[in-house]
Chains A and B, each alone.
Chain A
Amino acid sequence: LALYFHSGEREEKCIIEDVPSDTLVIGNYKVQRWDIHKQDFLESAPGLGMIVTVTSPSAEVLLSKLYGPQGTFSFTSYLSGEHVICLQSNSTRFVAFAGSKLRIHLDIRVGEHFLDESVVQAKDKVDEVNFRLEHLIEEIHHVSKEQNYEREREEKFRKTSEETNSNILWWAIVQTLILISIGIWQIKSLRDFFISKKLV
């Protein structure tokens, strides 16, 4: 758990995971609280927990649980798209507590590339190579799923571009028609006006 960042006590930090469907996402986190007296982050803060909320691309909540100061959470995506993982501490202290902040260590893994390490205590060479091959096959499946997802997105992209293209064309035609009809209306209206005023 190496990478960390700071956040306010009651601040919610969210994570976007853009994943294809049927993908397992595992998250590991550890949170530490700043202690004003020691001027350092406490190694463990009893009673401090993090509420983890996972939202699917269709705004449906997949997971919403309270974990301790250190925890692991996971979920499998049903739809492909941007899933939002939010972390918020359950601290009830006043926000006005000057200098209070949290240090959140985070590690998120996408896709099941990690087979059980205990299996690795293989009896012989063949088993070890077997294990490695299984891992490679998992990686290839992941690549294949990502490619399918990419195809869906590219289609959406192409639709948007084609829609923009036809919108521009349609708008140019409509604008020309408006211009011509307004022009005719203007001349007619003024001519009638001048005739009625006996200027012409």
Chain B
Amino acid sequence: MLLRGSRAAGPWGRLPPSWLLFLLAACAARASEITFELPDNAKQCFYEEIAQGTKCTLEFQVITGGHYDVDCRLEDPDGIVLYKEMKKQYDSFTFTASRNGTYKFCFSNEFSTFTHKTVYFDFQVGEDPPLFPSENRVTALTQMESACVSIHEALKSVIDYQTHFRLREAQGRSRAEDLNTRVAYWSIGEAIILLVVSIGQVFLLKSFFSDKRTTTTRVGS
């Protein structure tokens, strides 16, 4: 099985250590993006512990393989299915954790007999922490800080679009390469069939006439 990477949340602000621990417990923002290869007839599950009330987003896309589709299923700690889709190429699902516990999501390629799929998913837990934390803040953000915040937000969006574009391009390229190989094999195969059939036809036809000839002479004499 092949997996992929993670993009961690933004930097923590300048805080005294005791506050840091509190902040970690309260809003642990994480984003894990993983690209992995799912063999045929296989199922791969991932688990994550989520605190109640955290807003989470699961997004996945199939990059290579077969019809570029996969089954996906997301369950909460009680086993209740929050999201279930069969043979989807790409989807995004947002939910708020209704209780504490381990959430599980699985990707399944069990319907496929011989194609492996490469699947990418991005599981975002919680919101990203603010660039300039407001805990010990006395005054409002200065212009410099606001500018930094807007640039940061814009860059996050750019990186997000870039990732999606990269995946779509990888999928397109995979299809183009498949097409290229298929065209090559098909042309060679068809040329061979053509030659074999046409030469075979002529010899078969010749053989019909040869037989008739011998029978007519027999009847004659």
Contacts and interface: CB of A to CB of B under 8 A. Distances in A.
Q: Do A and B come from one complex?
A: yes
B108 interface: no
B187 A171 contact: yes
Given A167-B184, A175-B191, A17 B4 contact: yes
Interface in B155-172: 155, 158-159, 162, 165-166, 169-170, 172
B82 interface: no
A109 B30 CA distance: 11
B194 A136 contact: no
Interface string B56-75: 00000000000000000000
A114 interface: yes
Interface stretch (A1-9, A64-72, A91-99): A1-9
A89 to B, nearest CB: 14
Question: Which of A18, A120, A190 neighbours the largest number of chain B CB atoms within 10 Å of its CB?
Answer: A18
Nearest to B191: A178
Question: Which of A5, A146, A161 neighbours the largest number of chain B CB atoms within 10 Å of its CB?
Answer: A5
Interface residues of B, number: 66
Interface string A35-78: 00000000000000000000000000000000000000000000
Contacts of B162: 143, 146-147, 150
A132 B131 CA distance: 8
B134 to A, nearest CB: 13
B93 interface: no
A65 to B, nearest CB: 19
A108 B183 contact: no
B11 A135 contact: yes
Interface in A140-171: 140, 142-143, 146-147, 150, 153-154, 156-157, 160-161, 163-164, 167-168, 171
A66 B169 CA distance: 36
A133 B150 CA distance: 12
Contacts of B10: 113, 135
Interface in B1-50: 1-8, 10-14, 28, 30, 32, 34-37, 44-49
B176 interface: yes
Contacts of B205: 190
Given A2-B28, A2-B30, A156-B173, A167 B125 contact: no
A129 B148 contact: yes
Interface of A: 2-7, 13-18, 25, 27, 84, 106-111, 113-115, 117, 120-122, 125, 128-129, 132-133, 135-136, 139-140, 142-143, 146-147, 150, 153-154, 156-157, 160-161, 163-164, 167-168, 171, 174-175, 178-179, 182, 185-186, 189-190, 193-194, 197, 199
Given A107-B32, A150-B165, 15 more contacts: A3-B123, A14-B1, A15-B3, A18-B4, A18-B166, A108-B4, A125-B142, A129-B144, A129-B145, A142-B159, A160-B176, A174-B191, A182-B195, A185-B198, A193-B206
Interface of B: 1-8, 10-14, 28, 30, 32, 34-37, 44-49, 118, 123, 125, 131-132, 142, 144-145, 148, 151-152, 155, 158-159, 162, 165-166, 169-170, 172-173, 176-177, 179-180, 183-184, 187, 190-191, 194-195, 198-199, 201-202, 205-206, 209, 213
